[in-house]
Amino acid sequence: MHDQSLGELRAGLDRKDYSSVELTRHFLGRIHHGQRLNAFISVTEDLALEQARQADARIAGNDSEFLTGIPIAHKDLFCTLGVRTTCGSRILDNFISPYDATVVRKLKSGGMVMLGKTNMDEFAMGSSNENSYYGHVKNPWDEKRVPGGSSGGSAAAVSARLAPVATATDTGGSIRQPAALCGLTGIKPSYGRVSRYGMVAFASSLDQGGVLARSAADAALVLQAMSGFDRRDSTSLDRAVPDYPGCIEASIRGKVIGLPKEFFGQGADPAVMEAVEQAVRIFESMGAKTTGVELPNSEAGIPCYYVLAPAEASSNLARFDGVRYGHRTEQYEDLMDMYERTRAEGFGEEVKRRIMIGTYVLSSGYYDAYYVKAQKLRRMIADDFQRAFEKCDFIAGPTTPGTAFVIGEKSDDPVSMYLNDIFTNSANLAGLPAISVPAGLDHGGLPIGLHLIGRYLDEATILNAAHQFQQRTDWHRKTPEGFE
């Protein structure tokens, strides 16, 4: 059952080949088998089986939807009613959410079964999943290597077939980068397409919820269910959601693919570039055309991002002070001492680093020099994309400069770690939809990701392109050895 697509699982449930309870037990057994990956922070076995029983009742009563009875894992920064939500941090180790995030509520109302909460870089700050209070996650393709971050737990779980699909979030590449390193399809929709209500904030103007799945077809199904306007989120867009599953079968003949020279220069592993160039040739064989485009400010995306994101994080994380919820230090002399000790104990090193940077760039002496300039640069990056899309339908390039690196290899070099998002974070800065799909394996057998960026609110085009690519390749069907 674990090697079936969501469509195949739906058909199996409808044919009564197995019940949702049996399907859920199967994946719970897989999770137990794959414990060494450390992909889950919490496994909600009792809740999952109860939700599966409810799903079976809905199916028996002809009251089911497409996703009813299908298991899912949630990244552990989506609030879940009555279930611990930690954000991978000690400071929220004992926090039990009193409500469901909108994403969780929507998928639950559709009858999906929550298997548990997946491990992640603390407060989504990281590119390797080495920053979690609960320990690093291992890449199922090579357990000495990272799965990518911050959604590394979700990626490892789906890649190892511990869950059919998982939710994830993306602030600068945290869906697409682990998708590339773990051989998955990962989509970040346009900013505002998916509600952020109940999604614990890192950088509010950049965060967006999305999906990690085995294929574009599976991702389209779950994204359809997640998307839509939410009055409780002031950044949510009141726009009709396209029929994503219905859009993916169209031919891409005549579509124009933009190839930015900035994405095809030096800096990426030759094996990665070879795979991406081969993917472009496959698109051309399907009747797509290519054209050169320019994104002259994209190389400044990393410094721009690492001014704006920490600035927003320093504000968002001020709420974690030991007063209302979460960890509180046991010994303190006064209120200020409690704040300081609680935050010193509760936050990890990377989170502290980013809070310090954010506070610095927002301070009165440096606000104009750093924060204001970064906001202007952000606008310039968005304008570059707008001009590029006058010539093409979507943009293609590598997702990451290389494949999965060894655990600990970049821990002492934050800048090198940050550069893993060099191809992805500009889409967040511009609020654009983007998807990573498997496009090959390097000489060591590690997955390579192809990155597609679409126009604002045009998730349908990149899902369509990704699906058509997957109809002609089998990279997305590859399974890590030992998890077949």
What single letter denotes the amino acid at residue 30? R
Give the count of beta carbons closer than 10 Å to the beta carbon of residue 233: 16
> How crowded is residue 321: how many other Cβ atoms within 10 Å of its Cβ?
18
In whole angstroms, give the CA distance from residue 388 to residue 391. 6
Q: Sort residue 61 into left (φ over 0), alpha (ψ -120 to 50) or beta.
A: alpha
159 is catalytic: no
Tokens of 12: 């199996």
Reference 125, options 8, 203, 190; nearest CA is 203
Q: What is the DSSP code (8-state) at residue 199? A: B
Inter-CA distances, 359 with 312, 343, 350, Å:
9, 15, 14
List the one residue out of 84, 43, 36, 91 whose CA is nearest residue 338.
Answer: 91
Task: Decide if 150 is catalytic.
Answer: yes
- Identity of the residue numbered 340: E
Catalytic residue of the set 150, 190, 215, 314: 150
Report residue 64 CA to chain centroid gap: 27
82: left (phi over 0), alpha (psi -120 to 50) or beta: left
Q: Going by C-beta distance under 8 Å and a sequence separation of 6 or more, which residues neighbour residue 382? A: 429, 430, 431
Of the candidates 78, 101, 73, 98, the residue with the CA atom closest to the CA atom of residue 88? 78
| Residue type at 461 in one-letter notation | T
H-helix or E-strand containing 121? Answer: none
* Catalytic residue of the set 159, 174, 215, 426: 174
Rg (the chain; Cα; Å) = 21
Any catalytic annotation for residue 174? yes
| The residue type at 86 | T
Q: Is 260 helix (H, G, I), strand (E, B) or coil?
A: strand
Residues forming a β-bridge with 167 = 211
Q: From the candidates 20, 75, 227, 298, give the one annotated as an active-site residue.
A: 75
**With contact defined as beta carbons under 8 Å apart, do 297 and 381 qualify?**
yes
Report yes or no: 140 and 160 within 8 Å, Cβ to Cβ. Answer: yes
Altogether, the residues listed in the chain come to a count of 484
Please tell me the distance from the alpha carbon of residue 112 to that of residue 105, in angstroms, as a whole number: 10
Q: List the catalytic residues.
A: 75, 150, 174
